Chain A
Amino acid sequence: MELTKQQIQHLFTFVRSKYIRYYDVQLELVDHLASAIEEEMSQESGLTFEQALNRVYSRFPITGFNEFLQEKTKALNKYWRRRFWSYMKQYFTPPKIILTLLFSFFFFYTSNVQFHFFGNEVNLLWVVFIAIALGGLFVVGKYFPINPNKSRLLSKIIFIQQLSYYILGPVYFIGYVWPQFLVNHVNINNMVFNFIMSFVCALTLIALSGAMTDFRVWMQEEIEERYKEFRVEF
């Protein structure tokens, strides 16, 4: 026997009432519940839909669907991290490592160009760094949906989080954490600091270019293939 449209809708409402707000997670749970209920009801003719639902739900762990959601979140974090890392890894091996080194040396060169800014001597590398940081904020901001209802795919939320770590993480480290740590111990214009900062700028630029090309395509493909109703223009 097959459940009606209304019963399927009831299952979506049921799953939402158990704090599963993401459609991509709801979908799998609803299908599982529906398949199990259909089987229970075909095997026991007097069984109502509600009775079958209670029976099937009782087979889930005592925490309900929370564990399902937690495991799904962990798996999605791993999935997107793996994809982003596979993209970045290309730039640590030939031939693209040449590009990484070229960018790094170019940015390092800019650390030798000094200019005066409100009475302080600043090197051009900091300007480059701020430009890349602002670019990163702009690109990551573009992926956040204007309409909060559009963030109903867990996969997309995790994708945006991972993207933020790759683009804004290094920026945060170089722009805030490290200077805070070193400012009393090392001259902020010293060569080692400048080289590391150049390398981080190069990596962030590579991640940014990925965000504007490959990463966008990945998310568009994911939504196009599976969740057309959540199609969003990036």
Chain B
Amino acid sequence: MVNSKLLRGNLETIVLKLLEDHMEMYGYEITQKVKDLTLNEIQLTEGALYPILHKLEGEGILTTRIANIGNRKRKYYKLTPEGNDRVTQKVDEFEVFVQSMHLILNPKLG
């Protein structure tokens, strides 16, 4: 399983990228999707996910809607236009970081 300190700095990127790829998701769905895509290597806990979702909603990066799903209501999260810009920015930043780490870890390739 991925080190939690490494994960902490990239939670926002993970959540934003998933929402970009899936249009609209609810909280539990996001935790399950991360687990499935990473073959259980990354397990997003409730204590980690919801603060990020609420923070991004507060900043206007995400918008929400409430839907009836039979026996209860569900809150779906979706990117705003500012959210789409933020995804691009965060993904670019992460890719630059990964390339830089490769140069340090594999100096012969530099």
B45 touches A59 (CB 8 A): yes
Most buried by B among A68, A72, A75: A75
Q: In chain B, what residue has the closest Cβ to A81?
A: B58
Q: How far is the CA of A78 from the CA of B26 in the complex (A)?
A: 21
Cβ–Cβ < 8 Å partners of B27 in chain A? 28, 31-32
**Which listed residue (A28, A61, A75) contacts B47, Cβ 8 A?**
A61
- Would B58 and A76 count as touching, CB distance under 8 A? yes
Contacts of B47 in A (CB 8 A): 60-61, 67
Contact with B along A2-41 (1 / 0, CB 8 A): 1111001000000000000000000110111011100100
Tell me whether A75 and B55 are in contact (CB under 8 A): yes
Q: Is the CB of A71 within 8 A of B54?
A: yes
Which residues of A lie under 8 Å from residue B51 when comparing CB positions? 67-68, 71
In the complex, what residues of B have CB within 8 A of residue A5's CB?
Answer: 71
Is B72 close to A, CB under 8 A?
yes
Bound together, the chains give a CA A35 to CA B46 distance in angstroms of: 13
Docked Cα-Cα span, A71 to B72, in Å, equals: 23
B71 with A32: CB separation less than 8 A: no
Majority SS of interface residues in chain A?
helix
Q: Are A79 and B60 in contact (CB under 8 A)?
A: yes
Choose one: B29, B71, B73; the contact of A3 (CB below 8 Å).
B71
Q: What is the CA–CA distance of A68 and B52 in the complex, to the nearest angstrom?
A: 10
A165 is an interface residue with CB less than 8 A from chain B: no
8 Å CB contacts to B: which residues of A41-99? 59-61, 67-68, 71-72, 74-79, 82
A27 lies within 8 A of B75 (CB): yes
Closest CB-CB distance, B4 to chain A, in whole Å? 13
Q: Is the CB of B46 within 8 A of A60?
A: yes
Contact B72 A8 (CB under 8 A): yes
User: A227 at the A/B interface (Cβ < 8 Å)?
Assistant: yes
The reply to whether A79 and B58 contact each other, CB–CB distance below 8 Å, is yes
Interfacial chain A residues near B26, Cβ < 8 Å: 31, 35
Contacts of B19-45 to chain A: CB distance below 8 A: 26-29, 32, 45
Instruction: State whether the Cβ of B12 lies closer than 8 Å to any Cβ in chain A.
Output: no
CB-contacts of B43-99 with A (<8 A): 45-47, 50-51, 54-55, 57-60, 65-66, 69-75
Q: List 18 A-B contacts (CB under 8 A).
A: A5-B71, A28-B50, A28-B75, A32-B27, A32-B28, A34-B71, A36-B28, A59-B45, A59-B46, A67-B51, A68-B51, A71-B54, A74-B55, A78-B58, A78-B59, A82-B59, A82-B60, A225-B65
